[in-house]
């Protein structure tokens, strides 16, 4: 059985995250695209992932 990649907070090494879906608009001259936000439930560190550009499976 293959091991599932576990998302880990780079700051506190926590593994519980609040997952949110968001959108980055053209604030920085980038076309709007869907992003996933993972907010660490321990230290509130926020990680952003673009859809389809990550090693983790979300669905």
Positions that interact with Zn ion (CB under 5 A): 9, 11-12, 14, 40, 42-43, 45
How wide is the angle at C-alpha 50 spanned by C-alphas 48 and 52, nearest 5°? 140
CB of 41 to Zn ion, least distance (A): 8
CA distance 12 to 6: 14
CB of 26 to Zn ion, least distance (A): 30
Nearer to Zn ion, 10 or 25 (CB): 10
CB of 6 to Zn ion, least distance (A): 13
φ/ψ of 50, rounded to 5, equals -85, 145
């Amino acid at each position: 059985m293959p091991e599932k990649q576990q998302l880990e907070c780079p700051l506190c090494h926590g593994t519980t995250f609040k997952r949110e879906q968001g959108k980055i608009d053209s604030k920085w001259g980038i076309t709007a695209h869907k992003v996933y936000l993972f907010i660490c439930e321990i230290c509130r560190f926020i990680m952003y992932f673009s859809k389809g550009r990550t090693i983790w499976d979300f669905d």
